[in-house]
Amino acid sequence: MSSPEDTAIASATQRSRIEWIDTDAAGIYHNSTVTRLVEATEASLTRERGLHGYFPVAPRVRFEADFEAPLFFGQEVTTTVRVTELGRTSMTFAFEVWGEEFEGTDRVRAARGRYVTVHLDRSGPGRPTSAPWPEEWVERLTGG
């Protein structure tokens, strides 16, 4: 599995906190919280790079995660997302979610994984089809 240490085409890091809504009654995070944290960081990346209109045309077609440690209500977390592959119509991301020091415990990696998005052409009638990424987006992601 790719990890965020891989060579990155583009990346973003975001600090946040585990909120009560992210946890079960014992105050331990739900695994779905990782998806929320990763998507929030991906949104930061797309905003920073000026990829306006990205989310409606870039659905996830694959998402995999390794859950390595629990996170707790009130704990600060750092999420990093990196674009590791940019294909003609798809993009692969690697991510890590780290729980920061909390109530006497050390910083720990809570989850890592990867996911793939595909660019859709929604301009025509009927079902959307995959299409090449807009050249402007590729330039903004690669700095080219």
- pLDDT tens string 32-41: 999 999 999 9
CB-side neighbour CA atoms (13 Å) of 115 = 19
Does residue 88 lie in a domain region?
A: yes
Domain region containing 126? 10-142
Q: What is the mean pLDDT of residues 4-11?
A: 76
Q: DSSP state, 111?
A: E
**How confident is residue 5, by pLDDT bands cut at 50, 70 and 90?**
low
Distances (CA, A) of 131 to 43, 48, 87, 103: 21, 23, 11, 48
What average pLDDT score do residues 87-109 get?
97
β-pairing verdict for 108-118 and 90-99: antiparallel
Cβ neighbours of residue 25 closer than 8 Å, sequence gap 6 or more: none
CATH number for 70:
3.10.129.10
Neighbours of 3 (CB within 10 A): 16
Residue 4 located in a structural domain? no
pLDDT of residue 123: 82
Domain for residue 97, yes or no? yes
Structure pTM? 0.90
The answer to whether residue 138 sits within a structural domain is yes
What confidence tier does 2 reach under pLDDT thresholds 50, 70, 90? very low
User: Which is it for the CA torsion 144, 59, 125, 53, positive or negative?
Assistant: negative
Summary mean pLDDT of the chain: 93
User: Which pLDDT does position 3 carry in this prediction?
Assistant: 46
pLDDT bucket at 127, cuts 50 / 70 / 90? confident
Across 95-102, average pLDDT = 98
Extract the runs of DSSP E, i.e. beta strands, from 9-143. Answer: 10-17, 60-67, 76-86, 90-99, 108-118, 120-121, 129-130
pLDDT tens digits, residue range 29-84? Answer: 999 999 999 999 999 999 999 999 999 999 999 999 999 999 999 999 999 999 99
Residue 121 token pair: 């052409």
Residue 144: the pLDDT is 64
pLDDT of residue 124: 78
The verdict on residue 1 lying in a domain is no
